[in-house]
Amino acid sequence: MPTVFVTPNLTRHVPCPTTTVKGATVRAALDDLFVRVPRLRGYVLDDQGALRQHVNVFVNDESVRDRTGLGDTLGPTDEIFIFQALSGG
């Protein structure tokens, strides 16, 4: 099962330990994660279910290609990294 890692800048708002999830796509994996941590959904997805503009999701070392449908496929040993881009000066 894929493993999801959420960076500390998000976990300080919503506690979310590293966890394994079910799902053959990024969407299915995130949906499984959001069942366990419902508050995280609002930080990661917009009202239409797409990734928020300042959120990045990587599968292993590659950024997801489908930021709207999240249909990128997953293998059982894949690692998903969710982080919020930081800005400022």
Q: Which domains does the chain have, with CATH numbers?
A: 3-84 (3.10.20.30)
* Burial classification of residue 77, based on how many CB atoms lie within 10 Å of its CB (0-12 exposed, 13-18 middle, 19 or more buried): exposed
Give pLDDT tens digits for 9-31: 889 889 999 999 999 999 999 99
Q: Give residue 87's pLDDT.
A: 67
pTM for the whole structure: 0.91
Per-residue 3-state assignment (H helix, E strand, C coil) for 18-31: CEECCCCEHHHHHH
Share of the chain above pLDDT 90, in %: 88
Q: Give residue 88's pLDDT.
A: 63
